[in-house]
Amino acid sequence: MKATKKKVAPIAIDKYIDHIKSDFVSDLKELVDIPSVSMDPNCKKDITKTAVRAKELINKFGATAEIILTDGNPVVIGKFHLSDDYPTVTVYNHLDVQPADAEEWETAPFSMQIVKDKYLGRGTTDDKGPALTALYAANYAHENKIPININFLWELEEEIGGPNFARFLEVNKDNLKTNSIVVSDTIWVSRDKPAISYGLRGMQCMTFRLDTGKKDLHSGLTGGLARNPIGEMAHLISKCYDAKTGEVKIPHFYDDVKDLEQDEIDNFIASGFNTDIFQKAHELYSLRTTDVMDAAKRIWAMPTFEVHGLIGGYTGPGVKTIVPHFSEAKVSMRLVPNQDPNKIIQLVSDFVRSINPDVEICAQGTLQPYVGDFAGPYSQAAKRAMQRAFGKEPAFVREGGSIGAVLSMKDILNVPITFLGLSLPEHGYHSINENYDWQQASGGIKMFVHYFEEIVKIMDPKES
Amino acid sequence: MKATKKKVAPIAIDKYIDHIKSDFVSDLKELVDIPSVSMDPNCKKDITKTAVRAKELINKFGATAEIILTDGNPVVIGKFHLSDDYPTVTVYNHLDVQPADAEEWETAPFSMQIVKDKYLGRGTTDDKGPALTALYAANYAHENKIPININFLWELEEEIGGPNFARFLEVNKDNLKTNSIVVSDTIWVSRDKPAISYGLRGMQCMTFRLDTGKKDLHSGLTGGLARNPIGEMAHLISKCYDAKTGEVKIPHFYDDVKDLEQDEIDNFIASGFNTDIFQKAHELYSLRTTDVMDAAKRIWAMPTFEVHGLIGGYTGPGVKTIVPHFSEAKVSMRLVPNQDPNKIIQLVSDFVRSINPDVEICAQGTLQPYVGDFAGPYSQAAKRAMQRAFGKEPAFVREGGSIGAVLSMKDILNVPITFLGLSLPEHGYHSINENYDWQQASGGIKMFVHYFEEIVKIMDPKES
What pLDDT is stored for residue A111 in this prediction? 97
Query: What mean pLDDT, rounded, does chain B reach?
Result: 94
Alpha-carbon distance of A341 to A333, in angstroms, equals 9
A245 touches chain B (CB under 8 A): no
Minimal Cα–Cα distance from A38 to chain B, Å?
Answer: 12
Residues 298-327 on B with a CB inside 8 Å of A are 298-299, 302-315, 318-324
User: Å from A456 to nearest chain B CA?
Assistant: 32
Please indicate whether, in this complex, the C-beta atoms of A285 and B228 are within 8 angstroms of each other: no
Helix axes B438-456, B129-143, angle to 10 degrees: 50
Nearest of A420, A398, A437 to residue A258 by alpha carbon: A398
CB contacts < 8 A, A to B, total 318
- Within an 8 Å CB–CB cutoff, is residue A238 touching chain B? yes
What is the distance between the alpha carbons of residues B67 and B464, in angstroms, rounded to a whole number? 25
Among candidates B225, B283, B322 on the partner chain, residue whose Cβ is nearest the Cβ of A287: B225
Of the candidates B220, B235, B309, the beta carbon closest to that of A400 is on B220
Q: Which helix (H) or strand (E) holds B417?
A: strand B417-419
Confidence of residue B157 (pLDDT cuts 50, 70, 90): very high
What tens digit of pLDDT does each residue of A275-332 get?
999 999 899 999 999 999 999 999 999 999 999 999 999 988 888 899 999 999 999 9
Confidence at residue A317, expressed as pLDDT on a 0 to 100 scale? 80
Q: Would you say B104 and B95 are in contact if contact means Cβ atoms under 8 Å apart?
A: no
Which B-chain residues 33-62 have CB contacts (< 8 A) with chain A?
39
pLDDT (0 to 100) of residue A103 = 86
- Tell me the pTM: 0.87
Which residues share a beta bridge with A343? none
The mean pLDDT value for B114-135 works out to 98
Helix boundaries (H) for B271-318? 275-281, 292-300
Closest partner CB to A215 (pick from B242, B334, B431): B431
- Give yes or no for a contact between B76 and B58, defined as CB atoms under 8 angstroms apart: yes
Q: Provide the pLDDT for residue B1.
A: 46
What chain B residue is nearest to A336 in terms of C-alpha separation?
B220
Judge whether residue B206 has pLDDT over 90: yes
Residues of chain A with Cβ-Cβ distance to B430 below 8 Å are 217-218, 221, 322
Please, which residues bridge with residue B371 across strands? B199
Task: Tell whether A345 lies on the interface with B, counting CB pairs under 8 A.
Answer: no
Contact A298 B237 (CB under 8 A): no
Q: Contact, B420 vs B382, CB < 8 A?
A: yes
CA quadruple B434, B437, B441, B443: dihedral, nearest 10: -130
Q: What is the pLDDT of residue A10?
A: 56
Instruction: State the pLDDT confidence band at B464, using cuts at 50, 70 and 90.
Output: very low
A chain contacts of residue B237, beta-carbon cutoff 8 Å: 230-231, 234-235, 238
Spell out which residues of chain A touch residue B187, defining contact as CB-CB under 8 Å: 221
pLDDT at B169 over 90: yes
ipTM > 0.90, yes or no: no
Report, as an integer, the average pLDDT of B401-421.
Answer: 94
Which pLDDT belongs to residue B318?
81
pLDDT of residue B329: 98
- The pLDDT tens digits for B19-69 are 999 999 999 999 999 999 998 889 999 999 999 999 999 999 999 999 999
**Other CB atoms within 10 A of residue B111 CB:** 14
- Domains defined for chain B, CATH in brackets: 13-200+370-463 (3.40.630.10), 203-257+302-367 (3.30.70.360)
HEC per residue, chain A: CCCCCCCCCCCCHHHHHHHHHHHHHHHHHHHHCCCCECCCHHHHHHHHHHHHHHHHHHHHCCCEEEEECCCCCCEEEEEECCCCCCCEEEEEEECCECCCCHHHCCCCCCCCEEECCEEECCCHHHHHHHHHHHHHHHHHHHHCCCCCEEEEEEECCHHHCCCCHHHHHHHCCCCCCCCEEEECCCECCECCECEEEEEECEEEEEEEEEECECCCEEHHHHECCECCHHHHHHHHHHHHECCCCCCECCCCCCCCCCCCCHHHHHHHHHCCCCHHHHHHHCCECCECCCCHHHHHHHHHCCCCCEEEEEECECCCCCCCCEECCEEEEEEEEEECCCCCHHHHHHHHHHHHHHHCCCCEEEEEEEECCEECCCCCHHHHHHHHHHHHHHCCCCEEEEECCCCHHHHHHHHHCCCCEEECCCECHHHCCCCCCCEEEHHHHHHHHHHHHHHHHHHHCCCCHHHC
What's the CA gap between B221 and B228, in Å, rounded? 13
Q: Quick one: pLDDT at residue A3?
A: 44
d(CA A401, CA A202): 7
What's the whole-number mean pLDDT along residues B108-114? 98
Q: Identify residue A443 by its one-letter amino acid code.
A: G
pLDDT at B365: 81
Residues of chain A scoring pLDDT < 50: 1-5, 8-9, 463-464
Enumerate the residues of chain A whose CB falls inside 8 A of the CB of residue B365: 319
B219 contacts on A by Cβ (under 8 Å): 304, 306, 308, 332, 334
Min Cα–Cα distance to chain A from B143, Å: 37
pLDDT at A339: 97
CA A286 to chain B, closest CA, distance in angstroms equals 7
pLDDT on residue B439: 98
Residues of B in contact with A302 (CB under 8 A): 224
Q: Give the distance from CA A251 to its chain's centroid.
A: 30
Q: What pLDDT is recorded for position A464?
A: 43
**Set of chain B residues whose Cβ sits within 8 Å of the Cβ of A305:** 231
Q: Tens digits of per-residue pLDDT, B346-369?
A: 999 999 999 999 999 999 888 899
pLDDT over 60 (residue B9): no
Chain A residues with beta carbon closer than 8 angstroms to that of B322: 308, 430
